[in-house]
Amino acid sequence: MTHLVSELTQLERIPTQIYESADAACLTVADAITDLIQQRNAAGKATVLGLATGSTPVRLYRELIRRHQQEGLSFANVITFNLDEYYGLAGDHPESYRKFMQDQLFDHVDLKPENTYVPDGLVDRDAVFQSCKDYEAAIADAGGIDIQILGIGRTGHIGFNEPGSGPETLTRLVTLDNLTRRDAARDFLGEENVPRHAITMGVGTILAAHQLFLLAWGEGKASIMAQTVEGKQTETIPATFLQQHNNCTFCIDQAAASQLTRQCHPWLVGRIEWTEETTRKAVLWLAQKTGKSLLKLVDEDYTENGMSDLLVEQGPAYDLNIRLFNVTQHTITGWPGGKPNADDSHRPERATPYPKRSLILSPEPLDDVYCLGGTINRLKQHGNQVTIAYQTSGNLAVPDTEVRRAIELMIELGTDRIGEADLSYATTVETQLNEKGSFGADTSEIRQLKGLIRRSEARSSARTLGIDTESLHFMDLPFYEEGRYRRFIVTQADIAKMCELLETVKPHQIFATGYGHDPLSVPALSFEILSAALEQCAGSEWFKDCNIWLYKGPADEWEAHEIDMAVPLSPDEFENKIQGIYQHQTQRSQSPGRASKKSSNSWDLAREINCGTAEIYDALGLAEYEAIECFKRYSK
C-alpha cells in the first residue's frame, strides 16, 4: 500500500487512515481479507490470517460472519493463528482467548477446527519453550501469515509484547504489565484474578507477516497511538517497531486519532483554516503550553508556535486574547438548568422554560454522581425536575463477595423472620455461587441480586444529592442484561426502551456520556442507543426544544477548548458529591473506568479530575474555584 505523505501527515511514520467510525474502518479491513480469500480460493490455495482478541476486532469479526452468512464468503481454505493466550487458562475458560475466538468468529463460519491455532495456555511449564517453537514452525509450514490483525494495548503492546520486547522476539512466555492487567480486571471480575503470564507471538513473528492492519478505537487509545505513529522506535513502546514494516496500515477512528499532530495541533505542521473551533483550540493550547494566562499572551507566543496566520487574520494578540477570554468566561455558570429571568445571551443554557425537565443518563449506577454529582445537586436546588435514568443495572461489576454477604444475612434471619420461600431462594443462590467458582458465568438469580444491590447503592447516593428515589429509573437495558463485557449486542429492544423513556420524560435537557469511548464499552453502547432513540423521536415536539450536554466520564475530562459549560462547585458541594460516591460500596475495589490517572478509586479520581479542571481555569486567568464539572454541547 502506498503511503502518501502530505504536509499534515509529515510527522507520521506509519500510514494511518482515520475513519468516521470503527464500523467504517472494519469495512476496509474486511474488504482486504475478503479479496485475499477470494483470490486464494479461486487459485485453490489457502489463506493464512493472524488474529487478535480483545474488544477491538469484535466488529470486524461480526462483519466477516455477516459476509459468510449473507454473501457466501467461505473460510474453508483459511488457516488462522492467534496472537496470544493467557497462561494457565484452559481453552474452555470463559476468559480464555480460545473461547473468545470460538464465540466471536470460529463457531459462526466454516473454518475447519484443525485450522485454527491459538497458543496452548495449559502447556506444562517445562514444555513451554518447545510449544512456542512448534507454534512458529506451524506458521512457517502454513507459508507465513498473509494478513495479521492487531489491536494495541495502552502500554504500547501488540500481542502481549509488553514494554521491553525487542523487534527480534519470537513466540514465548511473557509477564503481563500491571496496566494491562488492570485493563483486563473487569473481564476477570477483579485484578487479582487476571493471569500474570501469557504466551504471545513475538514482535519478530508479527513483523514477518506479509501485511499488517492495526485497529484502534476510542480516546483511551489516543495517546499511545500518537506515540506509536509519531515517536521513535523504542522497546518502551513495542508497537513502534511496526514502523519497520513496509505493508502496515493503521485503521483507526477519530477518537483514537485525536492526539495525532494533524488532529490536535495541525497549525504546527501546515496551514489550516482558522474556524471558531480551531481558534479556540489553538489559543487555549497556547496559554497552557506557555504557562501564561490568556490575557498575558503576546504576539511572539503566537508566531513562535505556528500561529502567525491566525495573528494576521484575527490579531493582534491583545484582541485574540480578550475574545477567547470572554468565550471561556461565558462557559462558567452556577445555573446548569439555566437562570430564570436572566439575560441568557452569554449563558450556556437558556433561561426558559423554567423549571426544566432535566434527564440525567447514567450508563451504570455511579457514573452520574461521579461525573456530575454537583451539577445534579444544583439542578435540583434550582427547582428543576430531575430524573436520573440508569441505562444498565451494572450487575457485572459486583463482586461475588457482595452477593454472599446479602444471602448470608437472609439465611441468618431464618424462617422465624423471613418466609420459607425467601429462605429457599437464598440457599439456592448460595449453592449457585459455590458451584460457579470464581470465573463461571453468573446465573440469572445471581445477576438479578447483583443488580438489586447496585440499585440500593444508587438510591442511597441519589438521596445524598437531594434527589428523591421516585425520580430514579432503572432501565436494565437488555443488551447488558443478556451480555458480557466485550460481547454486548445492541438490538431494537434497547432503542425502544430508550424511546419510551424519552417520550415519558420529554426532557428540556439531557446529560449523557459515551461519545468517543471504545465502541464496545458500556458508555459507548449506551450512547449509541440514545442516538438511535433520538433519531426516532426527532418528530416529537419536546425534541425541538431539548439541549444535549455530554459529560466525559468515567476517568477523563474534556479538554479546556471542548468545554461549553463549566459548573463550579464550592468545597462543601464537592464534599457532598464525594459522600454520594462513597455510597457505591460495591465499587470501592473496582478500578474506575480506564483508571488512566494516578488515583485508583473513584472518589480520589473525581477529586483529581474536578479540582484539576478548576486549576486549569485558574491558570487560564479565570476565577479560582474548588472544583468544576464540565460539559460539551452535542449537536443532534
Three-state secondary structure call for residue 188: coil
61 vs 603, beta carbon nearer ligand F6R: 61
From CA 325, how far away is CA 323, in angstroms rounded?
5
- Residue 236: C-alpha distances to residues 28, 177, 222, 259 (Å): 30, 12, 17, 19
Residue sitting closest to ligand F6R (CB): 151
Tell me, rounded to whole angstroms, the distance of Cα 415 from its chain centroid.
46
DSSP-assigned beta bridge partners for residue 478: none
157 vs 632, beta carbon nearer ligand F6R: 157
Minimum CB distance to ligand F6R, residue 3 (Å): 23
Minimum CB distance to ligand F6R, residue 629 (Å): 28
- Residue 20: C-alpha distances to residues 29, 203, 524, 548, 571 (Å): 15, 29, 15, 21, 41
From CA 191, how far away is CA 195, in angstroms rounded?
9
Minimum CB distance to ligand F6R, residue 84 (Å): 5
Burial 64-76, CB ≥16 within 10 A → b, else e: bbebbeeeebebe
Minimum CB distance to ligand F6R, residue 52 (Å): 4
Minimum CB distance to ligand F6R, residue 183 (Å): 7
Preceding peptide of 57 cis, ω within 30° = no
Q: Supply angle C-alpha 564, 567, 572, rounded to 5.
A: 165
Minimum CB distance to ligand F6R, residue 159 (Å): 4
Minimum CB distance to ligand F6R, residue 403 (Å): 27
From CA 55, how far away is CA 486, in angstroms rounded?
5
Residues 90, 94, 98, 103, CA torsion sign: positive
Binding characters for ligand F6R, 549-588, by CB under 6 A (x = yes): ----------------------------------------
153 vs 478, beta carbon nearer ligand F6R: 153
217 vs 479, beta carbon nearer ligand F6R: 217
163 vs 355, beta carbon nearer ligand F6R: 163
Residues 156, 157, 158, 162, CA torsion sign: positive
Minimum CB distance to ligand F6R, residue 217 (Å): 8
Interface residues for ligand F6R in 155-214 (CB under 6 A)? 157-160
- 392 near 454, Cβ under 8 Å? no
Residue 578, sorted as left (phi over 0), alpha (psi -120 to 50) or beta, turns out to be alpha
180 vs 234, beta carbon nearer ligand F6R: 180
C-alpha cell at 411: 439465611
83 vs 581, beta carbon nearer ligand F6R: 83
From CA 204, how far away is CA 149, in angstroms rounded?
15
Among 52, 212, 372, 429, binds ligand F6R (CB under 6 A): 52
Minimum CB distance to ligand F6R, residue 106 (Å): 14
177 vs 564, beta carbon nearer ligand F6R: 177
User: Exposed (0-12), middle (13-18) or buried (19+): which is 2, by Cβ within 10 Å?
Assistant: exposed
Among 9, 16, 47, 55, binds ligand F6R (CB under 6 A): 55
Interface residues for ligand F6R in 136-155 (CB under 6 A)? 151-153
Number of residues forming the site for ligand F6R (CB under 6 A) = 14
Please give the backbone phi and psi of residue 308, each rounded to the nearest 5 degrees, phi first: -65, -40
Per DSSP, the residues of 552-613 read --SS----GGG-SEEEEE-HHHHHHHHHHHHT-GGGTTSPPTT--SS--SHHHHHHHHHHHH
Among 53, 165, 211, 547, binds ligand F6R (CB under 6 A): 53
152 vs 260, beta carbon nearer ligand F6R: 152
224 vs 398, beta carbon nearer ligand F6R: 224
Of 529, 519, 484, 491, nearest to 59 by C-alpha is 519
From CA 428, how far away is CA 403, in angstroms rounded?
12
Binding characters for ligand F6R, 297-336, by CB under 6 A (x = yes): ----------------------------------------
Q: Supply angle C-alpha 372, 623, 556, rounded to 5.
A: 35
Given the residues 12, 63, 95, 162, select the one marked as catalytic: 162
From CA 163, how far away is CA 166, in angstroms rounded?
9
From CA 398, how far away is CA 444, in angstroms rounded?
14
151 vs 593, beta carbon nearer ligand F6R: 151
How many C-beta atoms surround the C-beta of residue 89 within 10 A? 19
- Is residue 337 within the footprint of ligand F6R (CB under 6 A)? no
Binding characters for ligand F6R, 80-119, by CB under 6 A (x = yes): ---xx-----------------------------------
Q: Is 162 a catalytic residue?
A: yes
Minimum CB distance to ligand F6R, residue 221 (Å): 7
Minimum CB distance to ligand F6R, residue 605 (Å): 20
From CA 236, how far away is CA 220, in angstroms rounded?
18
97 vs 285, beta carbon nearer ligand F6R: 97
Among 9, 56, 384, 432, binds ligand F6R (CB under 6 A): 56
The dihedral over CA atoms of 238, 242, 248, 250, expressed in degrees to the nearest 10, equals 50
Minimum CB distance to ligand F6R, residue 54 (Å): 3
Q: Supply angle C-alpha 15, 16, 20, rounded to 5.
A: 155
Residues 138, 140, 142, 148, CA torsion sign: positive
* CB within 8 Å of 385: residues ≥ 6 apart: 355, 356, 357, 358, 471
- Residue 304: C-alpha distances to residues 10, 139, 288, 296, 622 (Å): 19, 52, 14, 15, 24
Q: List, by residue number, the catalytic residues.
A: 162
Contact residues: ligand F6R, CB under 6 A: 52-56, 83-84, 151-153, 157-160
